[in-house]
């Protein structure tokens, strides 16, 4: 499951670049020049019509016109052969947008389909309304406000919760509980945690960023201020396993670290260049080490590349994933959306790291004995220990 979430993040890429590279076109219908294309060739149109006639004549089950249409749209983008471009139907886009923004309306839990029906709670967000109401990991939810949900999908259930009037009453089945529980949970704005922090020995602050979402900058600043108040004298930023996310988010954080100058620039197919720059007003004045690995991608590589080029810190770990292209997303009038690769991005020194990655200043592989462990202590983590040496501790 973690692997699926990682690849979803990689494919999402620098989702927020849509607001920059596409000039803030979210929410509007595509406006494109009329050119010769696939559907201008009558042979292609006739072939589609013929395929549909075969379905009508021979396909055993009933066809759904809307599903066929959605398949055509998705297939057109799939035909690009680009792993980062994608068509989203309205429901998929809503889920993608929620994930990328890092905030949604709900009850502060992560659900997955339960094989016997209903949904299973696999995580309760700390401080969320679900946790406060008494939900626990492993609980099975079978009904909402008296409606049986055992035949519904996770997306349909999430929509029910979001559409409720202030709160939901859940029928909950808990292991070792003789009778189902009835738990009422307020429906609130939920902020997904993407920043985790603690103070290590020798006043070393440690901040791990799991993804760059719409709420990551505020979470980072809260973490930094808390560590600063505790007397932080140096900082480790851990980007290992971070698949990327919003361009705006990573640039906002880098503006709190870098001297004045270029953070990253993008160039489209026409040679048009757009830049993101640091003001230099809040340049970090303590030693910095950044941890990366082969699963650090996209916005994580923007972070590492900018720190490295500005010599603002030391990059430690293994070569990053190598995703140096930007996606722009356009929402269409029917709620669907299309994401296209629209630009290359370059580090401040002009390096395009697509399919190459960022080579750390200090290369160190994670101890092979730790690769299959679910949890690794700081003492066992030889990459983190190397970063601490860089900071002179």
23 near 266, Cβ under 8 Å? Answer: no
pTM confidence score: 0.81
Do residue 178 and residue 50 come from a single domain? Answer: no
Planar angle of CA 249, 343, 98, nearest 5 degrees: 40
Do residue 215 and residue 331 come from a single domain? Answer: yes
SS3 247: helix
- The residue from 164, 191, 218 where one domain ends is 191
Do residue 209 and residue 187 come from a single domain? Answer: no
pLDDT tens for the chain, 393 residues: list them: 445 555 555 555 554 443 333 223 333 334 455 567 888 889 999 999 999 999 999 999 999 999 999 999 999 999 999 999 999 998 888 878 877 888 788 999 989 989 888 999 998 988 889 999 999 999 999 999 999 999 998 888 988 998 888 899 999 999 988 899 999 999 998 888 899 999 999 999 999 999 999 999 999 999 999 999 999 999 999 999 999 999 999 999 999 999 999 999 999 999 999 999 999 999 999 999 999 999 999 999 999 999 999 999 999 999 999 999 999 999 999 999 999 999 999 999 999 999 999 999 999 999 999 988 888 999 999 999 999 999 986
296 near 318, Cβ under 8 Å? Answer: no
Do residue 243 and residue 315 come from a single domain? Answer: yes
120, 323, 331, 339: which is the annotated catalytic residue?
323
User: How many whole angstroms separate alpha carbon 234 and alpha carbon 38?
Assistant: 56
Distances (CA, A) of 76 to 15, 340, 343, 378: 20, 12, 20, 47
Give the domain range for residue 126: 104-191
Closest listed residue to residue 320, CA positions, set 289, 347, 295? 295
Give the chain's end-to-end CA distance (angstroms, integer). Answer: 36
Tokens 């309306």 sit at which residue?
A: 105
**Residue 342: how many other CB atoms lie within 10 Å:** 18
SS3 96: helix
- The residue from 191, 206, 238 where one domain ends is 191
Who's near 116: CB < 8 A, 6+ residues apart? 140, 150
Distances (CA, A) of 297 to 9, 14, 100, 294: 9, 10, 15, 8
Do residue 161 and residue 78 come from a single domain? Answer: no
Tokens of 247: 């361009």
Who's near 60: CB < 8 A, 6+ residues apart? none
**Residue 90: how many other CB atoms lie within 10 Å:** 14
Q: How far is CA 379 from the centre of its chain?
A: 29
- Please say if 309 is a catalytic residue: yes
129, 234, 298, 300: which is the annotated catalytic residue?
298
Largest CA distance in the chain: 75
Do residue 93 and residue 109 come from a single domain? Answer: no
Do residue 179 and residue 197 come from a single domain? Answer: no
Cα dihedral value 108, 112, 118, 123, nearest 10: -40
SS3 68: helix
Do residue 261 and residue 164 come from a single domain? Answer: no
Do residue 92 and residue 226 come from a single domain? Answer: yes
User: How many whole angstroms separate alpha carbon 147 and alpha carbon 295?
Assistant: 42
- Please say if 281 is a catalytic residue: no
| Phi (first) and psi of residue 5, to 5 degrees | -65, -35
Quick one: pLDDT at residue 19? 35
Q: How far is CA 189 from the centre of its chain?
A: 18
193 near 219, Cβ under 8 Å? Answer: yes
Instruction: Report the side by side order of strands in the sheet with 362-363.
Output: 195-200, 204-209, 234-238, 288-292, 314-317, 362-363
Do residue 122 and residue 232 come from a single domain? Answer: no
| Secondary structure of 339-384 as H, E, C letters | EEEEEEEECCCCCCCCCCCCCCCEECCCCHHHCCCCCCCCCCCHHH
309, 328, 331, 339: which is the annotated catalytic residue?
309
Number of domains in the chain: 2
Long-range CB pairs of 113-117, under 8 A, 24+ apart, other chains included? 113/153, 113/154, 114/140, 116/140, 116/150, 117/142, 117/150, 117/151
Closest listed residue to residue 303, CA positions, set 265, 263, 259? 263
Tokens of 116: 């016997």
Do residue 231 and residue 171 come from a single domain? Answer: no
User: How many whole angstroms separate alpha carbon 308 and alpha carbon 160?
Assistant: 47
Quick one: pLDDT at residue 13? 53
CATH number at residue 244: 3.90.226.10
CATH number at residue 132: 2.30.42.10
- The residue from 159, 191, 223 where one domain ends is 191
- Please say if 389 is a catalytic residue: no
Tokens of 292: 């990366």
Do residue 210 and residue 233 come from a single domain? Answer: yes
């Amino acid at each position: 499951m973690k692997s699926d979430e990682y690849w979803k993040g990689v494919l999402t890429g620098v989702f927020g670049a849509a607001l920059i590279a596409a000039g803030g076109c979210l929410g509007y219908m595509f406006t494109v020049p009329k050119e010769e294309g696939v559907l201008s060739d009558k042979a292609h149109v006739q072939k589609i019509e013929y395929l549909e006639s075969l379905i009508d004549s021979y396909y055993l089950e009933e066809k759904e016109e809307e599903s066929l249409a959605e398949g055509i749209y998705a297939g057109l983008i799939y035909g690009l052969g680009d792993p980062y471009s994608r068509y989203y139907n309205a429901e998929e886009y809503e889920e993608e947008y929620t994930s990328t923004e890092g905030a949604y309306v709900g009850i502060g839990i992560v659900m997955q389909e339960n094989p016997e029906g209903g949904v299973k709670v696999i995580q309760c967000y700390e401080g969320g309304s679900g946790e406060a109401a008494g939900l626990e990991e492993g609980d099975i939810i079978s009904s909402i406000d008296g409606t049986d949900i055992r035949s519904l999908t996770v997306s349909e259930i999430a929509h029910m919760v979001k559409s409720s009037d202030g709160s939901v009453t859940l029928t909950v089945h808990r292991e070792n509980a003789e009778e189902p529980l009835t738990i009422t949970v307020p429906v609130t704005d939920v902020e997904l945690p993407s920043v985790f922090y603690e103070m290590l020995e020798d006043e070393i602050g440690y901040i791990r960023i799991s993804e760059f979402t719409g709420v990551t900058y505020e979470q980072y600043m809260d973490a930094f201020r808390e560590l600063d108040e505790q007397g932080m004298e140096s900082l480790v930023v851990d980007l290992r396993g971070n698949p990327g996310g919003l361009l705006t988010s990573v640039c906002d954080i880098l503006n709190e670290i870098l001297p004045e100058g270029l953070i990253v620039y993008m160039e489209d197919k026409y040679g048009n260049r757009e830049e993101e720059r640091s003001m230099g007003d809040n340049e970090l004045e303590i030693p910095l080490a950044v941890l990366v690995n082969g699963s650090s991608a996209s916005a994580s590589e923007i972070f590492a590349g900018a720190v490295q080029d500005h010599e603002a810190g030391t990059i430690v770990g293994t070569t990053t994933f190598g995703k140096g292209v930007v996606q722009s997303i356009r929402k269409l009038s029917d709620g669907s959306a299309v994401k296209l690769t629209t630009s290359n991005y370059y580090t401040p020194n002009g390096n395009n790291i697509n399919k190459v990655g960022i080579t750390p200043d200090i290369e160190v592989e994670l101890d092979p004995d730790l690769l299959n462990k679910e949890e690794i202590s700081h003492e066992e983590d030889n990459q983190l220990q190397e970063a601490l040496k860089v900071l002179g501790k």
